[in-house]
Amino acid sequence: MYDERVIEKIRGIWKTFDLSLGIPEIDKQHLWLIGILADLEDKLESGTRSELEVTFTNALSKTLDYATEHFALEEKLLESIGYTKLGQHRLQHMRFITALRNRVRKSFEGDFENAVLDLLKNLKKWLFRHILSEDRQYVDAAMVHVDDKVTDWMQRHLHASSYADEIERLYQLVLFSGRQEVSIEFKKLGEENLKLISDLWYRYKLKTGIAIVDIQHLWLLQLLVKTDKLYKQRLKQEIDADSLSAQLKEAIYETIEYIREHFNTEEAIMHNFHYIGEKNHQKQHERFNILINDMIERSEKEELESLAILIQDLKDWLVSHIAIEDKKLFYFFRSRLSEVNEYVRNLNKEGRIHIWKDAVSIYKLLVDYEDITEDKKPKSLRRS
């Protein structure tokens, strides 16, 4: 079983992203997948080469076993409740199994560290795409149609697994243990804030595929969430008004400065690589600056009601801009992403942009995965 550090990370993932479907047998298997992921990440960061090989081999075996066991249980459940999208759901399962088996066969042919990183990204993809999106679609129907008979055979299926004891123990440790600490990364970033950010990120499908753009977008969402939270505290008079007003102004200015830096980053990339939609994109940034100036003015005057509306307008504009305009950047740059990344590294060295450590942490938690159906070879894993 995993050590307490890994358990804390699993707990943080489970609580932050609200992964419970309310069906214990399904939740237990999902938690087990998270356990494989968190343990592999932990060994990746701190283990020796020999330890990594053992962990990797075990993770491969567990992942394949998990997929076949979990899919069999889930598909039988969906069949029993007459789920109308069962065929589509089953097809996704088949594609996942096929792609994972293909990756397993390739894993030992090349760089071992690449194989580990590849598996890790595959697992993250499954965690954040399938559970949060596809599985949530059948929950309402399951809640209506699952009876004691269905629950009984699901429990028998789960108990028949060779990993049954491990699955049950992990479930109890994460959900019902007297100790409910989460790892430091979740404490520092804030579980509630991460939940709000992840909800926006996945609900509106905001990933562009350009690393620096996604990192900055996530940090902007974090700043807007923090600013909105401070405004609500100010409105409720939960903290001394003068102190909180000062915090609110500081948060607003921090958000505004980062928005400007983000626009400068995007525009520098577009200009350097001759993006065909550069002028139109810049005009949208200029229009957004009107909202920014309005925000500064209302902040100075402490017009709280107007400021609240404006914060929401900023959030809505950002989400809409990312979902439509910024995604166009990926289609233009997708064949030159390595060049873009190198250009960004140079901008960072020159001090023209700032890549905050916490921003990278959010990116790794929410975005840093690849679709297993795409045959992309990840960069070599670098050890410090």
Per-residue pLDDT, 182: 62
Query: What pLDDT is stored for residue 294 in this prediction?
Result: 77
Residue 384 resides in a domain:
no
Domain containing residue 135: CATH number: 1.20.120.50
Q: Pick left, alpha or beta for residue 376 (phi over 0 → left; psi -120 to 50 → alpha; otherwise beta).
A: beta
Q: Are residues 145 and 207 in the same domain?
A: no
Same structural domain for residues 29 and 160?
Answer: yes
**78, 119: one domain:** yes
Do 271 and 174 sit in the same domain of this protein? no
On whether both 75 and 144 belong to a single domain, the answer is yes
**The pLDDT value given to residue 103:** 67
Same domain, yes or no, for 121 and 162? yes
Instruction: For residue 382, tell me if it sits in a domain.
Output: no
pLDDT exceeding 90 applies to what percent of the chain? 15
| Residues of the domain holding 275 | 187-367
Least confident of 56-60, 99-103, 357-361, 365-369: 365-369
Number of domains in the chain: 2
- d(C-alpha 256, C-alpha 298), whole Å: 13
Domain assignment present for 232: yes
Q: What is the pLDDT of residue 364?
A: 77
For residues 281-285, give the mean pLDDT: 90
Of 136, 151, 178, which one is at a domain's C-terminal end?
Answer: 178
Let me know whether 205 and 322 are in one domain.
yes
pLDDT, tens digit (0-9, with 9 covering 90-100), for 23-60:
999 999 889 888 887 887 777 766 666 667 777 777 77
C-beta separation of 328 from 206 below 8 A: no
Task: From 286, 274, 277, 264, select the one nearest 347 (Cα to Cα).
Answer: 264
Specify whether 57 is located in the same domain as 161: yes
For residue 301, is it within any domain? Answer: yes
Percent with pLDDT over 70 in the chain: 78
What pLDDT score does 378 carry?
35
Q: Has residue 381 got a pLDDT over 50? A: no
- Tell whether pTM > 0.85: no
pLDDT in tens, 142-163: 988 888 898 999 999 889 988 8
- 373 domain-assigned: no
141 plus 195 within the same structural domain: no
- 380 in a structural domain: no
Taking the C-alpha atoms of residue 219 and residue 216, their distance in angstroms, rounded to an integer, is 5
Helices (H), the chain: 4-16, 24-46, 49-80, 86-107, 112-125, 139-145, 148-159, 164-175, 184-189, 191-203, 211-236, 241-272, 278-301, 304-321, 327-333, 337-349, 357-366
Radius of gyration, CA atoms only, the chain: 23
**Per-residue model confidence as pLDDT tens digits over 58-69:** 777 777 777 788
Does 377 reside within a domain?
no
Displacement of CA 94 from its chain's centroid (Å): 24
Alpha-carbon distance of 145 to 380, in angstroms, equals 48
- pLDDT of 368 reads 56
* Residue found by looking up tokens 């962990």 in the block: 55
pLDDT tens digit sequence for 250-270:
777 888 888 888 899 999 999
Task: Count Cα atoms within 13 angstroms, Cβ side, for 335.
Answer: 1
Of the residues 178, 205, 220, which one is the last residue of a structural domain?
A: 178
> Does 153 map to a domain?
yes
Which of 152, 178, 204 finishes a domain? 178
Instruction: Encode 67-79 in three state secondary structure.
Output: HHHHHHHHHHHHH
CA dist 222 and 187 (Å) reads 14
DSSP calls for 35-104: HHHHHHHHHHHH--HHHHHHHHHHHHHHHHHHHHHHHHHHHHHHHHTT-TTHHHHHHHHHHHHHHHHHHH
Both 157 and 199 in one domain: the answer is: no
| 33 and 139 co-located in one domain | yes
Residues 357 and 221 occupy one common structural domain: yes
Q: What is the mean pLDDT of residues 214-234?
A: 82
